[in-house]
Amino acid sequence: MPGRNFLFVPGPSNVPDRILRAMHRPMEDHRSSSFPGLVRPILEDLKTVFGTTSGQAFVFPATGTGMWETAIVNTLSPGDRVLAARYGQFSHLFIDCAQRLGLIADVIQTPWGEGAPIEQIEAALKADRNHDIKGVLIVHNETSTGVTTDIAGVRKAIDAARHPALLYVDSVSGLGSLPFTMDAWGVDAAIAGSQKGFMMPAGLGILGMSQRALARREHAKCARVFFDLGDMIKANATGYFPYTPSIPLLYGLRESLDMLFEEGLEHVYARHHRLAEGCRRAVAAWGLSVCAKQTKWNSDTVTAVMVPPGTNGADVIDVAFRRYDLALGAGLGEMAGKLFRIGHLGDLNELMLLGALAGAEMAMRDTGMPVALGAGVAAAQEYYRSSAAPLAARGGAAPPETRAGPSGRGPGREGKPAARTAAIGA
C-alpha cells in the first residue's frame, strides 16, 4: 500500500527520521578510547529525564521486562515479600515476574480502569508491623487500560505508614512523555524502555536506581549474571559496558535525548496532554467512553476506547489495519475484545493524530458501530484550534532558540534548533 502505515499502538512508537539517521552508521570499536564520549553523557542526561540528581541511570541491551528483573534481582532475595496492585495487564505481568523470581507477592486486586489503590496500599503497609514487605510494585502508566497512577500519592502512602519498603515503578509507557520526578516521588527503581517516549526501536532497557536501592545489592540473594548491576556500575564508571552494547541504539538514544531537551521536557509533557485531550474529546463525540473510570486516571499517552456490548474491538482493529493501514492497540487480558487503544506518544503532532481518528471512525462504521463520520475528528479539531499557541509563537523574524542539554552537548551533533518548544504547549 502506498504511503506510510499509521502506527498508533501505544508502543512501539514512531521513530523520527533524525533518530533513524543517527542509528544508520558503521560499526565501531566499543572498547576504543573515544567510546566513553558517547556513553557518559547519555547516562548523565538520562538522570534528567528520570528527574534525579542522586540516583544512577543504566542502559541494558534489553526491554522493560528485563528492567523489571534487573530491579528485583539486585535488591531482593528469594522468599522476600512484595506488595502490588493488579489493575491491568502490565501490572499483572510485573507481579508474575516477581513471583517467577521466587518472591512472595501480596496482591491487591483492583478493577481494571482504576489506578493503584493508594488507601489500600497504606493500610497494607501499616498492618505489616514487622516490615516483612520489602518492596511495593507499581505501574505508572497502565497501557492496557489507559490509566495513569499518582506515584506521588503512593509515596505519601508509604511514608504515612512509616514503612521502609522500596518503591519500584514501571514507567515504560510514561518516561519521556509524562512528568516523572524520581527524587521528589521517592522512587527507588524506575523502569523504562527505548520504544515508547524515547521514540526508538525496542532493544534498550533503561533503568534509574536510587542510592538506597543500590545499597541493597550486597544483601540481595537472587541469582544474577547478565543483569548484575555490580558489573554494570564498574564498567560504566570508565564509560564502557561489561559486554557488547547495541552501538546503533546508543546513537539513537543520544539523538532522542537531544530531541527531548531541544523541545524542552515541560513542553513535551504539555504536548502529550494536549494531544490526548483532543483524542478524549473525539471519543466523547463518538458517544463512547474511555476505560479509565475517573478523569484523574486518564493517560496522556494512550486512550483505551470501550466498544458497545455486542461489538468486538478486535474487529475494529482488524478492519483499520487491513483497509486503512492504521495500526491500533488491542484489548489485553480482561479487556480483550472490549476495547481498542489509540496510542498518542512520542514523535507526534495534531495532524498525525487527526488522521488516526479519521481512520478509527471509518473502521468503526465498517464494523457496524453507529458512529457519525467526522464527529470525533471535528471535536478534536475544534479543541486543537482553540488551544493552539498564538501564530506569533510558531515562528517569525527571529531564529528559533537553541538550547543545550544537561550534558552541555548543545543542540546536538548537527546544531539542530529547538523549533517546536513554544508551539506545542497547552
Q: DSSP for 85-148? A: EE-SHHHHHHHHHHHHTTPEEEEEE--BTB---HHHHHHHHHH-TT--EEEEEEESEETTTTEE
pLDDT, residue 16, reads 98
pLDDT, residue 403, reads 39
Q: Are residues 60 and 209 in the same domain?
A: yes
DSSP helix, strand, coil percent of the chain (3-state; round to 5): 40, 15, 45
User: Are the C-beta atoms of residues 117 and 93 closer than 8 Å to each other?
Assistant: no
Q: Are residues 220 and 366 in the same domain?
A: no
**35 falls within a domain:** yes
Closest CA to 279 of 104, 271, 214: 271
| CATH number for 322 | 3.90.1150.10
**426 falls within a domain:** no
Q: Which tens digits make up the pLDDT trace of 31-84? A: 999 999 999 999 999 999 999 999 999 999 999 999 999 999 999 999 999 999
Quick check: 417 pLDDT over 80? no
Q: Are residues 176 and 288 in the same domain?
A: no
**333 falls within a domain:** yes
356-360, 379-383, 408-412, 414-418: least confident range: 414-418
pLDDT, residue 390, reads 80
pLDDT, residue 1, reads 64
- Give 50's contacts (C-beta < 8 A, 6+ positions apart): 57, 175, 180, 182, 190, 208
Q: Are residues 123 and 229 in the same domain?
A: yes
Quick check: 394 pLDDT over 70? no
pLDDT, residue 2, reads 84
pLDDT, residue 276, reads 98
Q: Are residues 335 and 242 in the same domain?
A: no
pTM: 0.92
**90 falls within a domain:** yes
Sheet strands side by side (includes 81-86): 56-60, 205-209, 189-193, 166-170, 133-139, 81-86, 104-109
Q: Which tens digits make up the pLDDT trace of 358-384? A: 999 999 999 999 999 999 999 999 999
Q: Are residues 176 and 251 in the same domain?
A: yes
- Rounded to an integer, the average pLDDT of 323-340 is 98
Cell numbers found for residue 19? 533518530
Q: Which tens digits make up the pLDDT trace of 115-126? A: 999 999 999 999
Compute the distance between CA of residue 340 and CA of residue 332 in angstroms, rounded to an integer.
9
In the chain, the amino acid numbered 162 is R
Q: Are residues 52 and 195 in the same domain?
A: yes
Q: Tally the domains of the chain.
A: 2
Instruction: Render 55-88 in DSSP notation, one character per residue.
Output: SEEEEESS-HHHHHHHHHHTT--TT-EEEEEE-S
| CATH number for 150 | 3.40.640.10
Quick check: 159 pLDDT over 90? yes
Q: Are residues 278 and 248 in the same domain?
A: no
Percent of the chain with pLDDT over 70: 92
Cell numbers found for residue 281? 474529546
Q: What are the strands, taking DSSP E only, across 117-260? A: 133-139, 141-142, 147-148, 166-170, 189-193, 205-209
| Domain end position, chosen among 227, 260, 293 | 260
Q: Which residues pair with 147 in a beta bridge?
A: 142, 298
What is the span of the domain harbouring residue 368?
6-12+264-389
**110 falls within a domain:** yes
Note the maximum CA span of the chain. 66
Compute the distance between CA of residue 368 and CA of residue 362 in angstroms, rounded to an integer.
10
| Domain end position, chosen among 260, 295, 312 | 260
State the average pLDDT for the chain: 93
Compute the distance between CA of residue 193 and CA of residue 197 in angstroms, rounded to an integer.
8
Q: Are residues 75 and 161 in the same domain?
A: yes
Q: Which tens digits make up the pLDDT trace of 261-306? A: 999 999 999 999 999 999 999 999 999 999 999 999 999 999 999 9
- At 410, is the secondary structure helix, strand, or coil? coil
**172 falls within a domain:** yes
**413 falls within a domain:** no
| Domain end position, chosen among 260, 276, 309 | 260
Cell numbers found for residue 146? 489507559
Pairing of strands 339-343, 326-330: antiparallel
Q: Which tens digits make up the pLDDT trace of 201-227? A: 999 999 999 999 999 999 999 999 999
**235 falls within a domain:** yes
Q: Are residues 123 and 181 in the same domain?
A: yes
CA angle 70, 345, 13 (to 5 degrees): 70
Q: Are residues 278 and 167 in the same domain?
A: no
Compute the distance between CA of residue 155 and CA of residue 237 in angstroms, rounded to an integer.
30
Q: Which tens digits make up the pLDDT trace of 236-258? A: 999 999 999 999 999 999 999 99
Percent of the chain with pLDDT over 90: 90
Compute the distance between CA of residue 31 and CA of residue 272 in angstroms, rounded to an integer.
39
Q: Are residues 28 and 110 in the same domain?
A: yes
| 3-state secondary structure labels for all residues of 311-326 | CCHHHHHHHHHHHHCE
